[in-house]
């Protein structure tokens, strides 16, 4: 019988690098290094080529030469907390290191307002951005990427778990058959649902919202150089800029309750707050301190009037567009 590869037999591993571009050797048996993906990940593996034409009295072409090998991966995972207990300096949110590779820096507060808390804020300097090693295992064959950085899009849906969709770019190092026979250690916590009182506020309005997303919108630059340490031809992946934001679909209100059109036209900034979960150790909150509507207008949801809001999470005092807290 011929060899058969199945897309469902996947394992995704990621580990924070202590030195940029040096393989952190993530293991599928290490806590939180195996990522609990929702669906098969999507690899983006390409290779640019230089065509060889002419020179041999032929109308055809010679064997092309492979050059730069851009590489990336997109995957989805649920956002949740610990399997049990509270956070400590050694017990972190499962997606914490993934967030740090998307331009966030991490702060642990042992005595936060709601107990031990991990906070993720936007980093101010390119030099402080961290990176991860990603190993994508497909039914016995692996692709390894180092120096990975990218974007995360947090997708909220009414009464549903929050989804974190990561789009990462990195330096491709090795591709080879690899056997992994021991059990994969994945988080087992059931992700909290975005439902209940206090889940969404814009300013003081507890608006009825069904769908919302928050994207880091980092500009990802793959730096090409002849002295790249890997055969990929890429020396580093750098986050050069960002413009976080997204969209949501609040039900329309009277201007006396909240003037959606007036606030949009005035480019006024307001605080947006989203809370998911209520139990300690499995609760997280997103706060954007200056949400500015970039576009808007009337929308329809089966006869219900809504406001189609596209927003930007703008800075208030510099590098404070948003914060994601786990407590």
Query: Hey, what are 167's tokens?
Result: 């789009």
Question: Reduced to 3 states, what is the DSSP secondary structure of residue 99?
Answer: helix
Question: What mean pLDDT value characterizes the chain?
Answer: 93
CA distance 243 to 2: 49
Give the per-residue pLDDT at 54.
Answer: 72
pLDDT tens digit sequence for 310-322: 999 999 998 999 9
SS percent in the chain: helix, strand, coil, step 5: 5, 50, 45
pLDDT band at 53 (very low <50, low <70, confident <90, very high): confident
Q: Could you tell me the two tokens for 156?
A: 């909220």
d(CA 13, CA 136): 7
Is it the case that residue 13 has pLDDT exceeding 60? yes
User: pLDDT (tens digit, 9 = 90+) per residue, 237-259?
Assistant: 999 999 999 999 999 999 999 99
Phi-psi sector, 124: left (phi>0), alpha (psi -120 to 50), beta? alpha
156 in the Ramachandran plot: left (φ > 0), alpha (ψ -120 to 50) or beta?
beta
User: pLDDT confidence of 2, banded at 50, 70, 90?
Assistant: low
Distance CA 239, CA 218 (A): 6
Three-class SS state of 8: coil
> Structure tokens of 41?
């990940």
pLDDT at 98 over 90: yes
Q: Would the pLDDT of 61 be above 90?
A: no
CA separation for the pair 214, 153 (Å, rounded): 6
175, 141 in Cβ contact below 8 A? yes
Q: In Å, how far from its chain's centre is CA 208?
A: 25
Number of neighbouring beta carbons within 10 Å of residue 290: 18
pLDDT at residue 114 in the model: 85
* Confidence (pLDDT) at 160: 96
pLDDT (mean) for 288-308 = 96
pLDDT mean over 203-221: 94
Token pair, residue 298, equals 């009337």
Is there a contact between 299 and 305 (Cβ–Cβ < 8 Å)? Answer: yes
Determine the pLDDT at residue 216: 98
* Distance from C-alpha of 21 to C-alpha of 130, rounded to nearest angstrom: 10
Higher-scoring residue by pLDDT: 1, 36: 36
Q: How sure is the predictor about 70, in pLDDT bands with cuts at 50, 70 and 90? A: very high
Phi, psi of 39 (to 5 degrees): -155, 165
Q: Is the pLDDT of residue 1 over 60?
A: no
Q: What are the DSSP calls for 148-194, one per residue? A: EEEEEEEEEETTSB-EEEEEEEEEEEEEEE----SPP----PPPPBS
Instruction: Render 112-130 in DSSP notation, one character per residue.
Output: EBTEEEEEEEE-S-GGG--
With cut-offs at 50, 70 and 90, classify the pLDDT of residue 20. very high
Give per-residue pLDDT as tens, 121-143.
999 999 899 999 999 999 899 99
The two beta strands, 70-78 and 42-45, are: antiparallel
pLDDT digits (tens, 9 = 90+) for 131-190: 999 999 998 999 999 999 999 999 999 999 999 999 999 999 999 998 887 889 999 999
d(C-alpha 94, C-alpha 178), whole Å: 25
Whether the predicted pLDDT of 95 surpasses 90:
yes
Is 42's pLDDT higher than 80?
yes
């Amino acid at each position: 019988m011929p060899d058969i590869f199945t897309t469902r037999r996947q394992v995704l591993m990621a580990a924070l690098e202590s030195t940029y571009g040096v393989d952190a050797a993530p293991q599928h048996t290490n806590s939180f290094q195996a990522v609990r993906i929702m669906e098969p990940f999507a690899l983006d593996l390409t290779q640019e080529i230089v065509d060889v034409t002419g020179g041999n009295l032929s109308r055809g072409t010679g064997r092309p030469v492979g050059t730069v090998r851009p590489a990336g991966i997109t995957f989805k995972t649920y956002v949740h907390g610990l399997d049990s207990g509270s956070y400590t300096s050694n017990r972190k949110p499962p997606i914490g290191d993934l967030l740090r590779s998307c331009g966030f820096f991490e702060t642990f507060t042992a005595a936060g307002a709601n107990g031990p808390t991990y906070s993720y804020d936007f980093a101010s300097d390119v030099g402080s951005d961290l990176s991860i090693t990603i190993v994508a295992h497909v039914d016995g064959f692996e692709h390894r990427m180092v120096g990975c950085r990218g974007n995360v899009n947090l997708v909220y849906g009414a009464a549903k778990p929050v989804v974190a969709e990561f789009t990462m770019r990195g330096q491709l190092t090795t591709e080879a058959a690899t056997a992994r026979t021991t059990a994969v250690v994945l988080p087992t916590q059931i992700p909290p649902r975005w439902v209940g009182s206090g889940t969404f506020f814009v300013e003081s309005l507890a608006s009825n919202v069904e769908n919302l997303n928050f994207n880091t919108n980092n500009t990802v630059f793959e730096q090409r150089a002849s002295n790249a340490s890997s055969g990929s031809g890429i020396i580093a992946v750098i986050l050069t800029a960002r413009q976080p934001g997204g969209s949501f679909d609040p039900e329309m209100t009277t201007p006396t309750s909240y003037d959606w059109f007036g606030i949009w036209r005035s480019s006024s900034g307001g605080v947006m707050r989203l809370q998911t979960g209520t139990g300690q150790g499995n609760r997280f909150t997103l706060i954007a301190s200056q949400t500015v509507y970039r576009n808007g207008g009337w929308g329809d949801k089966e006869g219900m009037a809504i406001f189609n809001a596209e927003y930007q999470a703008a800075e208030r005092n510099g590098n404070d567009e948003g914060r994601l807290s786990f407590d």
